[in-house]
Amino acid sequence: MDKFYITTPIYYASGKPHIGHAFSLIYADVLARWQKKKGKNVFFTAGTDEHGAKIAQKAEDAKINPQEFVDELADIYTDTWHALGIEYSDFIRTTSARHKKSAQEFFKKIDEAGDIYEGEYEGLYCVGCENFVLERNLKDGLCPDHKTVPQKIKEKNFFFNLKKYLPEVKEKIIKGEIKISPESRKNETLSIIESNIGDFSVTRESVKWGIPFLRSDLSAGEQTIYVWAEALVNYLTALDYPNGEKFKIFWPPDLQVIGAEINKFHTVFWPALLLAAKLPLPREIFIHGLFTIDGQKISKTIGNVIDPLDLVEKFGADATRYLLLSQFPAAEHGDVKAEEFVAKYNSDLANGAGNLLERSCKMISDYRGGKIKSEIKIDGGVEKIITEAEEKYEKSLNERNLFEALDAVFHIIKTLDVYINEKKPWELNKKEDKKSQDNLDEILATLLDGIKKVSDLLEPFMPAKIKQAKDYIAKLENGEIKEGDRLGLFPRM
């Protein structure tokens, strides 16, 4: 059986997840479910990034120890992903013993290969970013994102010999050995590589809340592994690197889904670290765009942060998944029109997909007791449109374009709606002549075929609702639908 290893970013456990985080998870979940449907052996990971100065600071402010602080947040993350129907295989926490082990092992390997050297770092550090910032990028002496004064840091660090590996990373990207999609992001990566980027420091002397960096000439805890570098190793931890059975089966990742803000770490640093550790590189990294909400950047100050759990409570898990994925093609940045969610829910789900399934099942049950003979031919025109839409769906998912894939399914839904309204099966049902009845048979067979295909295509996107629909269609075909039964997938709001 072909394997498919798909990963999502592990989020920094300094605050609750918002819909920007949920987006990556939903995106990957759809692709993972689609691969499973195709018969692949899928391994799908999520997690939380739990070390670093920012978390230590937040825990101190809350007067609890950092472990308690991240325990609470990790629970909120897993609860949120469960509520959204995210079916990951494993959830990696970077404060777990197994992650500590694999992170130490990974950096030891790179160190032993001679690619880590001691140096001194002197510069400005923003705790909010958990990253060094350059003087020229500050605004009035403040980090532009966090509006705080960065700390002046002068400390002993260990650096990774990034420069040595950049030509090979570049070559592999150009040859497509690592596919970076979309093309615009690939160009961004190549320009980062060409920008004379320096080696990067992989340890911290001043940060105690982290995984000790092991080296014979260091005392325990003298240096911790830099949180960003350590977090990347989670994709290995998930497979019990270095000796796990899963590691043998699933490495390397077939697809890593990330957001545009972490592009540099994943498409430049990560492949270079893997080359140094002599590991095969990910086959594909898909970078989705970031979004604004109703035209504004997601921000606590603006007050437009949306908790995914609030959406789930209002619309249900599957509709929330749909509402987020159907906003814009994720290859680019886009806007989420949260103000229009109710209208979109009603038009696409209640009156669209939900209503089509409902009324098709009802007519098939009322006019034929659910029994449609398999030898009845379906409408050729509709069949052709469905086949074309299925091809577009497949192509779109291969290109990681979930927006277009949904568009293809909704084209089938609209086609079937128009078909019903034109053919008026309720009028044919009143006529008893053979021609009318044969005609009705063809219409009902076409609808049954159509709603089964729509269900199949929507399944990765809306798994719980589609399970409900498939169970109902099975009941229908067994002649078990009774007067007054309803599928009731998406009640109008």
Beta carbon of residue 265, minimum distance to Zn ion (angstroms, whole number): 15
DSSP classification of residue 267:
I
What is each CA distance from 64 to 55, 94, 127, in whole angstroms?
A: 11, 19, 19
Annotated catalytic residue within 152, 300, 434, 482: 300
Q: Which of 36, 146, 215, 452 binds Zn ion (CB under 5 A)?
A: 146
Backbone φ and ψ for 103, nearest 5 degrees, come out as: -65, -45
| Encoded tokens for 19 | 């819909």
- Asked if 118 and 158 count as a contact pair (C-beta separation under 8 A), the reply is yes
471 touches Zn ion (CB under 5 A): no
**Binding status of residue 261 toward Zn ion by CB under 5 A:** no
361 is catalytic: no
286 near 398, Cβ under 8 Å?
no
Residue 305 backbone class (left: φ over 0; alpha: ψ -120 to 50; beta: rest): beta
411 belongs to the catalytic site = no
Task: Tell me whether strands 3-7 and 41-49 are parallel, antiparallel or unpaired.
Answer: parallel
CA 444 to chain centre: 37
# of chain residues touching Zn ion (CB under 5 A): 6
Q: Which residue type sits at 383? A: E
With CB under 5 A as the contact rule, which of the stretches 17-25, 127-135, 281-289, 318-326 interacts with Zn ion? 127-135
Query: How far is Cα 20 from Cα 12, in angstroms, rounded to an integer?
Result: 13
Tokens of 51: 């070390």
Decide: is 128 part of the binding site for Zn ion (CB under 5 A): yes
Indicate the residue among 132 and 403 with the shorter CB distance to Zn ion.
132
CB neighbours of residue 176 within 10 Å: 11
Instruction: Compute the least distance from the CB of residue 145 to Zn ion, in Å.
Output: 4
Which two tokens mark 177?
Answer: 């050995």
Among 54, 58, 100, 126, the active-site one is 126
Catalytic residue among 21, 109, 288, 453: 21
CB nearer to Zn ion: pick between 85 and 150: 150
Give the residue, chosen from 76, 83, 124, 129, that forms a contact with Zn ion under the rule CB under 5 A: 129
Q: Which of 26, 143, 257, 331 binds Zn ion (CB under 5 A)?
A: 143
Segment contacting Zn ion (CB under 5 A): 144-152, 306-314, 335-343, 440-448? 144-152
Binding marks (x or -) toward Zn ion, 87..126, rule CB under 5 A? ---------------------------------------x
Give catalytic status of residue 143 as yes or no. Answer: yes
Task: Enumerate the active-site residues.
Answer: 18, 21, 126, 129, 143, 146, 297, 300
Task: List contacts with Zn ion (CB under 5 A).
Answer: 126, 128-129, 143, 145-146
